[in-house]
Amino acid sequence: MGQNSRQPFGFHYVRDSKEQMHEMPTNHRLLLSARPTGIPGPENFTADAEPARPPGPGEALLETIYLSLDPAMRSWMSEGAAYKQRISLGEVMLGGGIARVLESRAEGFAPGDLVQARLGWQSHPTIPGRYLQKLDLTLGTVEDWIGPLGLSAVTAYFGLRDIGGLRPNDRVLVSAAAGGVGQIAVQIARIEGCYVAGIAGGAEKCAFVAGELGADAAINYKGEKDLSAAIARACPEGVDLYFDNVGGPTLDAALEHLRQDARVVLCGRISQTHAAEPYGVRNLGRLAAARGRMQGFLVFNYHQRYDEARTWLAARRRDGSLRQRLHVLVGLAQAPIGLGMLFRGENTGKLVVRLAEAPGPR
């Protein structure tokens, strides 16, 4: 056995910086082993386990509680991913989440603190303190922080308000309405006094959108031959703001129903992720006729204003007007399966993986 001698029960003894033996947990990791050609899954990853790395100066050793699963991760796995998100084969899969500090040599962090960070798909990462953000538990629970105070919710907030210029009485249409971003977009529009219709795949998801989320109408696009006709029935007065999570033919159908001065928010285009040929949008003429505008955005550009969004969202959690559904998978091995679920429409609500028990409300 070498310096890092393996011990039973998931703990290891390693030498720390003072050359003392130190008991460390096992860090279970998922490494990118093959780039996906279609929907990603377990075949793209290999699992390994090694002793967690003791924190160096300025670092903290963490225990991952939740990992967030997001459609964008599929593009990070590709050769052509942007520099900051590119993952080399053999590296730990990237991903954000919430963790508990186990040991800290980072100023301002102590064991027991709850933080969010780009943890990667691993159970016990060691990360510099400058990349950690402490959770403000006066705003919400750990489950709130991975859900309605998390990045999906913040995306819905800035997409609707800043890009969409949301106004009371707008007629709002949201696609992927039963998903992580969509469920919050539907509710923000409802809370702001808008008429809201959601598009989702399947009767159960539509029942969730119209029931729990309180939308005025829900369209099961998988059960409709003519999506445009279904939108006309659900939005008889047309659409002032279309919040687009899917792109492709759904975007085209929505464009047909734009009202004067309509806004189209390009949040995502998940339907095009695995398309052999990019879909050519046909109804852009409707945008001109409506004197509307269409704009894309990336939530990361709003990082200096995340607190504003979270303060608003937390207040709606407290008064009971903002609900959330977390779709929880348990265990690191579920992460690759979960990533594929997003592209097969198998999640309802915000999809996350739980690796460890979260502390209850404080």
Ligand X SMILES: NC(=O)c1ccc[n+]([C@@H]2O[C@H](COP(=O)([O-])OP(=O)(O)OC[C@H]3O[C@@H](n4cnc5c(N)ncnc54)[C@H](OP(=O)(O)O)[C@@H]3O)[C@@H](O)[C@H]2O)c1
Where would I find the H helices in the chain?
72-76, 142-146, 151-158, 180-191, 203-210, 227-234, 248-255, 284-289, 306-318, 335-344
Helical segments of 216-329, H only: 227-234, 248-255, 284-289, 306-318
**Nearest-10 crossing angle of helices 306-318, 180-191:** 70
Binding to ligand X (CB under 6 A): which residues in 300-329? none
Candidate residues 180, 292, 336, 338; the one interacting with ligand X per rule CB under 6 A: 180
Kindly state the smallest distance separating residue 347's Cβ from ligand X, in Å: 5
**Nearest Cα to 356, choosing from 98, 129, 180, 151?**
98
Which one of 163, 290, 329, 342 is in contact with ligand X (CB under 6 A)? 342
Q: Which is nearer to ligand X, 101 or 235 (CB)?
A: 235
Interface segment toward ligand X; rule CB under 6 A; list 6-14, 101-109, 226-234, 344-352: 344-352
Find the shortest distance in angstroms from Cβ 47 to ligand X.
Answer: 24
- 335 forms part of the interface with ligand X (CB under 6 A): no
- Write each residue from 37 to 56 as x if it is in contact with ligand X (CB under 6 A), else as -, in one continuous string: --------------------
Question: CA-to-CA distance for 30 and 14, rounded, in angstroms?
Answer: 22
Closer CB to ligand X, 120 or 201, in the complex: 201
x/- letters, 54..83, toward ligand X (CB under 6 A): ----------------xxx-----------
**Does 179 engage in binding with ligand X (CB under 6 A)?**
yes
Rule CB under 6 A: is residue 299 a binding residue for ligand X?
Answer: yes
Q: What angle do CA 202, 206, 207 make, to 5 degrees?
A: 120
Task: Please enumerate in sequence order all residues whose Cβ is within 8 A of that of 277, keeping only pairs 6 or more positions apart, or say none.
Answer: none
Helices (H), 16-68: none
Residue ranges in contact with ligand X by CB under 6 A: 70-72, 152, 155, 176, 178-182, 200-201, 205, 245-246, 267-268, 270-271, 297-299, 342-343, 345, 347, 351
